[in-house]
Copies of this chain bind each other. A is one copy, B any other.
Amino acid sequence: MINLTKSEEDYLKALFQLLTEGGKSKIGNNQLAEYLNVSPASTNNMVKKLKAKDYIVSERYGKLELTDQGIEIAVRLIRKHRLWETFLYNYLNFSWDEVHEVAEQLEHIKSRKLVDELDRFMEYPKVDPHGEMIPDADGAYNITPKVTLSSLKEGDICKLAAVNDASVSFLRYVSQIGLALSSTIEIVEIRDFDKSICIRFDDTVETVTKKFADNVFVKIIS
């Protein structure tokens, strides 16, 4: 349909992220609820509405899936979100950890022209400040299945490709220890006891937790 509410858009985007970036095979009602920080009842209710409007398909008690229409909405939202993050970061002196919250609002502004002109103004950026790809005006996007730093083995060498942008304190921490997009990282040691990982990059050696490494996405070099 023509006009979705902010909430409807957020549910579709969340489901899309879980389905594509989450790497899970089945996404259920409660997972979506947890991701969005709402109750399962709210999610159930919204899913019902979005099924009626033909954005989601699912069977009773079954897994949730997006229709083509649903995917289109989600991808357009992600495009807007990432273009705004890029704008805030490159032109308005926002830092890494400040852009997401504001983009979360800006992504719901309804104007096709606005987002396409913003894209042109910035000369069609390919990635946002956190390393995530930006879908183009036609809705084309390439999902590079996410490889987390935590999934590597001792001795592996990789490049930092992107980071989860949803936590401000995490992003601050990343900057603070000196990690940056395209840093080359070597897995020095994985400690069996608590799964913490000792990494080396730019002559720095740091030990990070499994939780930290779960939020760092990399491209394996060797």
Q: List chain A positions with a Cβ less than 8 A from chain B.
A: 88, 91-94, 98, 101-102, 105-106, 109-111, 113-114, 117-118, 121
In the complex the two chains form, is A121's CB within 8 Å of B88's CB?
no
Which residues from chain B contact A113 at a C-beta distance below 8 Å?
A: 92, 94, 98, 102
- Specify the chain B residue showing the minimal Cβ separation from A115: B92
Cα distance, A105 to B114, chains bound together (Å)? 12
- Specify the chain B residue showing the minimal Cβ separation from A118: B92
Question: Per a CB cutoff under 8 Å, which of B94, B98, B106, B117 touches A93?
Answer: B117
Integer count of this chain's copies in the complex? 2
Which residues from chain B contact A93 at a C-beta distance below 8 Å?
A: 117
Which residues from chain B contact A105 at a C-beta distance below 8 Å?
A: 109-111
Cα distance, A168 to B75, chains bound together (Å)? 30
- Besides the contacts A101-B111, A102-B111, A106-B109, what 5 more A-B pairs have beta carbons closer than 8 Å? A92-B113, A92-B121, A102-B113, A106-B106, A109-B109
Cα distance, A40 to B91, chains bound together (Å)? 44
Cα distance, A121 to B109, chains bound together (Å)? 21
CB distance from A104 to the nearest CB of B (A): 10
Which residues from chain B contact A121 at a C-beta distance below 8 Å?
A: 91-92
Closest 9 CB pairs of A and B: A92-B117, A102-B111, A105-B109, A93-B117, A102-B114, A91-B121, A106-B109, A92-B121, A92-B118
Cα distance, A209 to B85, chains bound together (Å)? 46
CB distance from A45 to the nearest CB of B (A): 22
CB distance from A150 to the nearest CB of B (A): 33
22 residue pairs A–B, Cβ–Cβ below 8 Å: A88-B114, A91-B121, A92-B113, A92-B114, A92-B117, A92-B118, A92-B121, A93-B117, A94-B113, A94-B117, A98-B113, A101-B111, A102-B109, A102-B111, A102-B113, A102-B114, A105-B109, A105-B110, A105-B111, A106-B106, A106-B109, A109-B109
